[in-house]
C-alpha cells in the first residue's frame, strides 16, 4: 500500500518528505510481525486498500489566478481552536512502536496545536497522559466492555482528568480476523518462537528497548485497566477483544454513556448514513466516519466514498470527521471538500513513533500540514474552511 516515490535507502527522518518515507524508516526498526500488526487489515484487506484507492481516484478542480498568497489551516473542533483540520486517532498498544507510546504522541499533538485522542487500550494510563499534557485539548476513546462497572469507572476517570470529549468506538463488536496476525501467531504480549528468531535478530535495538520496557517500564499492558498485573495471560489480540468487549451493545448503551458524561460525545466507526442520522437524533455531537482503517469488517466501502451520504444525513446538526488512508495533505483537502470538518490519522503517527518517538510524531504532523498548505496554494484556495465539493471534479 505504498503512497509515494520509493524512499532512498538509508533515509533518515530529517530527510523524510512524506508519510511513506517515515513508514519506511519505521519498518526498518520494527520486527515484521509488529509492522504487520500495525499495517494489517481485516481478512483480505479489501477495505484497507479501498480507502487509499478511492482517495487516489479523486481529482481536484483548481481555480487559476485567485490570489492564494495568504492561507490558513486553522479551524475548530467542537469549539476548540486547532492549528489544522487534523487530529490523532486513538491507537491502542502504542508501546509496540515506542516505549513512550501514547504519552509521546499526546505531547507531539499538544506541541502542534492539534487534538489527540487517547485509546482506552493505551499502555500509558489516561492519568499519566493527562498529567503530561495538562493544558492541551485531549479526547478519550472508549469501547463498551461486557463489565459495565469497568466501563463506567474509566469514563469517570477520564472526565476527572480533564478529557474534553468522549469518543465511543462502535465498529468492534468482536475482533476481526486479521490474517497477517493469524499467520504470524501474533499475541499480546508477543510470544517469540523459533519461527520469529530471524525477524527478532534482524531488529535487536527494538528487541532490547521492548525487553527493557517490559521489565522496567509500562510494557505492553492495559494502562487504564490495572497495568501489568492485569495482563496475566498471553493471547491472540482477537481473543482478548472477544473476552472483554460487548457484542451486545446497542443505542441504549450510548445513552447510558451519555448519562455518565456531561461533555461532548463523538461516535466513531460509522459508515452507514442511517446510523449517522440515528446518532444525531440521540444528541451525539460529532459523527466520526471510520472503518477502523480497514481493520474490522472487510468489504466495507472506503470512508471517503460514504462521507458525502453521512454529511447529508447529519445535515449540519453535528460535526463530521473522517479517517482511513489519510497519508498526504492533499487527502485531507479531498475529505474536507467532501464535507469532513477534520481528518484523523492512525498509522501515520505510529510510523512516526516507531521512527523517533515524539519527534517522529511531530515530523508526521508537520509534513501533513506543509503538504496541506501547499495543496491549498496550488488549488488557489485561501482557507481550509472554504473547501467544498466545487474544488473537486465529480
Ligand atoms: C487502531 N484503531 C483504533 N481505534 C479505536 O477506536 N481504538 C483503538 O484502540 C484503536 N487501536 C488501533 C491500533 C492500531 C495499531 C491501528 C492501526 C488502528 C483505529 C484508528 O483509530 C483509526 O480509525 C485508523 O487507524 C485510521 O486509519 P489509518 O489512518 O491508519 O489509515
Residues 328-355: tens digit of each pLDDT: 999 999 999 999 999 999 999 999 999 9
Query: What is the three-class DSSP state of 307?
Result: helix
Domain boundaries, the chain: 13-58+81-178+241-391
For the question of whether the overall pTM of this predicted structure is more than 0.95, the answer is yes
pLDDT band with cut points at 50, 70 and 90 for residue 229: low
Per-residue pLDDT at 230: 67
Read off the C-alpha cell for 139: 479526547
Query: Mean pLDDT across the stretch 38-62?
Result: 98
Give the 3-state secondary structure of residue 318. Answer: coil
List the beta bridge partners of residue 169: 268
- Ligand 1 lined by 346 (C-beta under 6 Å): yes
Contacts of 392 (CB under 8 A, 6+ apart): 58, 59, 60, 61, 334, 337, 338
Write down the mean pLDDT value for the chain: 94
Q: Verify whether ligand 1 is closer than 6 Å to residue 345 (CB atom).
A: yes
Residue 198 has pLDDT above 90, yes or no: no
Of the listed 98, 203, 218, 292, which one is catalytic? 292
Task: With residue 140 as reference, give the H or E element that holds it.
Answer: strand 138-142
pLDDT at 219: 81
Read off the pLDDT of residues 147-189 as tens digits, 9 standing for 90 and up: 999 999 999 999 999 999 999 999 999 999 999 999 999 888 7
For ligand 1, is residue 326 a contact (CB within 6 Å)? Answer: yes
| Residue burial 219-253, b: 16+ Cβ < 10 Å; e: rest | bbbbbbbeebeebeeeebbbebbbebbbeebeeeb
Q: Select from 221, 293, 294, 304 the residue to mutate for testing ligand 1; criterion: most ligand atoms less than 8 Å from CB.
A: 293
pLDDT band at 248 (very low <50, low <70, confident <90, very high): very high
What letter does residue 196 receive in the DSSP assignment?
A: G
Residue 110 or 198, more confident: 110
pLDDT tens column, 56-101: 999 999 999 999 999 999 999 999 999 999 999 999 999 999 999 9
pLDDT of residue 51: 98
Q: Is 89 in the pocket of ligand 1 (CB under 6 A)?
A: yes
Q: Mean pLDDT across the stretch 230-243?
A: 78
Question: Does residue 7 register a pLDDT over 90?
Answer: no
User: 88 C-alpha to center of ligand 1: Å?
Assistant: 10
Supply the pLDDT for residue 118.
98
What separation in Å is there between the alpha carbon of 310 and the centre of ligand 1?
20
How confident is residue 276, by pLDDT bands cut at 50, 70 and 90? very high
Ligand 1: centre distance to CA 71 (Å): 30
Active site residue 98: no
Domain 13-58+81-178+241-391 in CATH 3.40.640.10: no
Average pLDDT value for residue range 235-252: 88
Nearest Cα neighbor of 307 from 117, 51, 77 is 51
- Is the pLDDT reported for residue 32 higher than 80? yes
Q: Residue 2's pLDDT is what?
A: 65
| Probe target for ligand 1 pocket from 41, 89, 171, with the most ligand atoms within 8 Å of CB | 89
Ligand 1 within 6 A of CB of 268: yes
Amino acid at each position: 500500500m505504498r503512497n509515494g516515490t520509493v524512499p532512498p535507502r538509508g533515509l533518515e527522518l530529517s530527510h523524510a518528505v512524506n508519510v511513506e518515507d517515515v513508514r519506511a524508516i519505521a519498518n526498518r526498526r520494527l520486527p515484521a510481525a509488529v509492522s504487520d500488526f500495525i499495517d494489517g487489515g481485516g481478512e483480505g484487506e479489501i477495505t484497507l486498500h479501498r480507502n487509499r484507492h478511492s482517495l487516489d481516484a479523486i481529482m481536484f478542480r483548481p481555480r487559476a489566478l485567485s490570489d492564494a498568497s495568504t492561507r490558513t489551516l486553522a479551524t475548530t473542533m467542537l469549539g476548540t481552536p486547532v492549528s489544522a483540520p487534523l487530529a490523532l486517532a486513538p491507537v491502542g498498544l502504542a508501546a509496540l512502536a515506542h516505549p513512550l507510546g501514547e504519552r509521546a504522541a499526546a505531547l507531539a499533538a499538544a506541541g502542534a496545536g492539534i487534538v489527540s485522542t487517547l485509546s482506552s487500550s493505551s499502555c500509558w494510563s489516561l492519568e499519566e497522559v493527562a498529567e503530561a499534557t495538562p493544558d492541551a485539548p485531549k479526547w478519550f476513546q472508549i469501547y463498551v466492555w461486557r463489565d459495565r462497572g469497568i466501563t463506567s469507572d474509566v469514563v469517570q476517570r477520564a472526565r476527572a482528568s480533564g478529557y474534553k470529549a468522549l469518543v465511543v468506538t462502535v465498529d468492534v463488536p468482536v475482533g476481526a480476523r486479521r490474517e497477517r496476525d493469524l499467520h504470524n501467531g501474533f499475541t499480546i504480549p508477543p510470544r517469540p518462537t523459533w519461527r520469529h528468531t530471524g525477524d527478532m535478530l534482524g531488529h535487536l535495538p527494538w528487541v532490547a528497548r521492548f525487553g527493557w520496557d517490559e521489565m522496567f517500564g509500562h510494557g505492553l499492558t492495559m494502562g487504564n485497566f490495572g497495568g501489568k498485573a492485569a495482563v496475566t495471560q498471553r493471547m491472540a489480540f482477537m481473543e482478548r477483544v472477544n473476552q472483554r468487549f460487548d457484542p451486545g451493545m446497542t443505542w441504549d448503551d450510548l445513552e447510558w454513556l451519555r448519562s455518565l458524561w456531561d461533555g461532548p460525545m463523538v461516535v466513531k466507526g460509522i459508515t452507514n448514513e442511517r446510523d449517522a442520522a440515528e446518532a444525531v437524533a440521540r444528541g451525539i455531537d460529532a459523527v466520526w466516519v471510520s472503518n477502523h482503517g480497514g481493520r474490522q469488517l472487510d468489504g466495507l466501502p472506503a470512508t471517503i466514498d460514504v462521507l458525502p451520504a453521512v454529511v447529508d444525513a447529519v445535515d449540519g446538526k453535528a460535526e463530521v470527521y473522517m479517517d482511513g488512508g489519510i497519508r498526504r495533505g492533499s487527502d485531507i483537502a479531498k475529505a474536507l471538500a467532501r464535507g469532513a470538518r477534520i481528518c484523523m490519522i492512525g498509522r501515520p503517527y505510529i510510523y512516526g513513533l516507531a521512527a523517533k518517538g515524539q519527534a517522529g510524531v511531530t515530523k508526521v504532523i508537520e509534513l501533513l500540514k506543509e503538504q496541506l498548505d501547499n495543496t491549498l496554494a496550488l488549488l488557489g484556495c485561501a482557507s481550509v474552511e472554504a473547501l467544498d465539493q466545487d474544488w473537486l471534479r465529480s
